[in-house]
Every structure is written in structure tokens, then in C-alpha cells.
Amino acid sequence: DAKTTQPNSMESNEEEPVHLPCNHSTISGTDYIHWYRQLPSQGPEYVIHGLTSNVNNRMASLAIAEDRKSSTLILHRATLRDAAVYYCILRGIQGAQKLVFGQGTRLTINP
């Protein structure tokens, strides 16, 4: 199974951009890259996903390296409500849908 690697923790300031990296060097050609986050005492929440091209939505942007071996979740202006654990996940399109979860990055936002 393809694995992801993320830093254990990151810290940023409110209203500044945040770049959360994820390495997935053994990704297969059909794996989608998903990002989720989990606020304290809540279930994970979907943030964004992509395959090859960069993606934007109202929550964040996803930048995918050309070789797809890494990706970066970008929060353009962090708020205190963005403090959470962020998970980078690979999701297959066929077969048994084995999901592989990294340990996640705990993001702290300073006021």
C-alpha cells in the first residue's frame, strides 16, 4: 500500500498562509490525493482532493508535484478555527479501496 509522510506538527500565525506538505513517493497512477482535517472531539472533515492538476476550493488549495510524489495543502489565510490535525490520504479507484492514512500534521495557529 502506498504510504504518506507528513510532519508531526506545524505552527503558523493568524491571517498568514500555511503550507502543509505531504510525501507519497510510492503513489500509483490511479491514486487520488485527499486531505482531511479533524478538529478536537469531532470526526474528520473533508478539505480537498486531486489527481494530477492543482485544485482550489473555498477552504484551501492543493498543489500537486509534477511527478505526483508529493503535494502541499495551502490555507491562504489561516484563522484560529483552522487549528486541527490535517491528514493526507491516498485513495484508490478500483478494487478493495484500501485507504492509507498518515499520522497527520497538528497545526497550531497563533493569534
Partner 1 sequence: DVKVTQSSRYLVKRTGEKVFLECVQDMDHENMFWYRQDPGLGLRLIYFSYDVKMKEKGDIPEGYSVSREKKERFSLILESASTNQTSMYLCASSQSAGRGEQYFGPGTRLTVT
Q: Please say whether the beta carbons of 39 and 103 come within 8 A.
A: no
Q: Which of 10, 92, 106, 108 binds partner 1 (CB under 8 A)?
A: 92
Contact string 24-63 vs partner 1 (x = CB under 8 A):
------xxx-x-x-----xxxxx--x--------------
Please identify, using beta-carbon distances, which residue of 32 and 61 lies nearer to partner 1.
32
> Helix, strand, or coil here: 102?
coil
Q: Does 106 bind partner 1 (CB under 8 A)?
A: no
Using a 10 angstrom Cβ sphere, with 0-12 exposed, 13-18 middle and 19 or more buried, the burial of residue 35 is buried
- Phi, psi values for residue 30, rounded to 5°: -105, 5
Residues of the shown chain interacting with partner 1 in the complex, contacts defined by CB under 8 A? 30-32, 34, 36, 42-46, 49, 87, 91-94, 96-99, 101-104
